[in-house]
Amino acid sequence: MKKIGMVSLGCPKNLVDSEALLGDLTRHGYELTPEESEADIIIVNTCGFLQASVKESIDTILDMARHKTSGKCQQLIVTGCLAERHPEELLAEIPEIDHLLGTKQYPLLRSLLDGNGTVQQRNHVHEPAQYFEAYGDRVLTTPFYSAYVKIAEGCSNKCAFCIIPKLRGPIASRPLASIVEEVRRLAAGGVKEFNLVSQDTTLYGYDIRMKDGLVRLLDALAEIDGVAWLRLFYCYPTAVNDALIEAVQRIDQVCNYLDVPLQHTHDFMLKHMIRQETEQGVRRMLDTLRTRIPGVTLRTTFITGFPGERDEHFQHMVDFVQEMEFDHLGVFTYSDEPGTTAYDLPDKVDAKVAQERKDILMAMQKDIVCRKNKDRIGEVHPVLVEGLQEDCLLTGRLPVQGPDIDGQVIIENSSVEPGDIVPMRITGALDYDLVATSVTPAP
């Protein structure tokens, strides 16, 4: 049996592709190994979103290529967004790459590997797109009780700073039945928390003529035994409509949590970014959300230093963040990406200024989160137990804490197991984390 080593870079959508690929290969006689030095075949599923991720992907490929001389590796496979973005350069610069597949050819890999190196052609990025029918048999790399579910591929928006539509194409929603079957199988395997992801989750179903597709999907997934939590990531602000808000409020399994990247707050900047929302539209959306779902948890993302951003535009964002008090906030400095519309814009902002602006927003946000966490002391909430971490802390998460990005709960004096969902009383608050103890008396 040939051994496969896999490095998966980038976002949760890429991770799902990696897991589906591993599922396909292991179902057809390939074995996984965590040791690249032991692998006969190494796959690097790359990210190509920002220059920083391009560099990380290239460094990783070069690192893995060493195993073709010093290790057992016979075939080095590169897939994903960087392969889509720079296929010719990668193949010219890194001769150790045996096969290059983009973001639409993952199912093709097995036939290439079964060829045992007889397939001479290296570049497969432009071959016809094919997607895995089923994702239910994927090899989960997240903890057994939690999974990302990629509900669509690509994006039909045209944000000026973003290269993704060029790398992944326009939105392609997965058939609802395929997602339901995937979640049914994962839930039967013990998964309780399902994080729904895509480039624009709110547009799910739009390209397959399904009105309010996301609401229909949530209703269908909530019917499945074992589904405890459904969480929505990457919602586009103009598509957070009444039907979706009603569904989040009505369906118990749907966490009162929405990730709605806003990118900026000032209309001049939003227009320059080729975003569809306006400040007033965003205010209405947030107001409706908070009125209809009291206590709803909101995550958002902003970019500082987008071309043309002046002090008054940034001050507008500072005032907005102070006023809106988001529960979770991510801030990125603008990355000048060749191939994006913004790349050709004048009035580039100094990277140092962009960083200073990011630091100001993050410092404000830290104070906001600290106070909100303190306000939670005494409350009782269900906690998904994650388990013992490397630092020997037992941790978990509330429904309003997404994995890896939103802080955790440090669990004290509780006899609980990973994967348990247990009511706990918040007893303390740290910067981004909470402290809690189970209200169910220990046996």
Residues within the interface to ligand SF4 (CB under 6 A): 155, 157, 159, 162, 164-165, 199-200, 236
Between the alpha carbon of residue 112 and those of residues 17, 40, 68, the distances in Å are 17, 14, 18
64, 55, 3, 65: which is closest to 29 by C-alpha? 3
Amino acid occupying residue 236:
Y
SS (H, E, C) 317-373: HHHHHHHHCCCEEEEEECCCCCCCHHHHCCCCCCHHHHHHHHHHHHHHHHHHHHHHH
CB nearer to ligand SF4: give 140 or 163.
163
Nearer CB in complex with ligand SF4: 159/187: 159
Residue 172 or 393: which CB sits closer to ligand SF4? 172
Nearer to ligand SF4, 199 or 408 (CB): 199
Q: How far is the CB of 236 from ligand SF4 (least distance, A)?
A: 6
Q: CB of 133: closest distance to ligand SF4 in angstroms?
A: 24
Residue ranges with strand state E in 151-213: 152-153, 172-173, 193-197
Q: How far is the CB of 77 from ligand SF4 (least distance, A)?
A: 25
Smallest distance from ligand SF4 to CB 219, Å: 25
**Closer residue to ligand SF4 (CB): 182 or 337:** 337
CB of 410 to ligand SF4, least distance (A): 33
Six token digits for residue 169 = 């194409």
Indicate the angle between helix axes 242-250 and 279-292, nearest 10 degrees.
30
CB 329, min distance to ligand SF4, A: 16
Question: What are the strands of the beta sheet with 193-197, ordered from one edge?
Answer: 146-150, 193-197, 229-232, 254-259, 297-304, 328-333
Strand pairing partners for 382? 423
Nearer to ligand SF4, 164 or 269 (CB): 164
Rg of the chain (C-alpha set): 22
Comparing CB distances to ligand SF4, the nearer of 235 and 436 is 235
Query: Closest separation between CB of residue 155 and ligand SF4, Å?
Result: 3
Cα 197 to its chain centre, rounded Å, is 6
Evaluate whether 374 touches 429 at the Cβ level (below 8 Å): yes
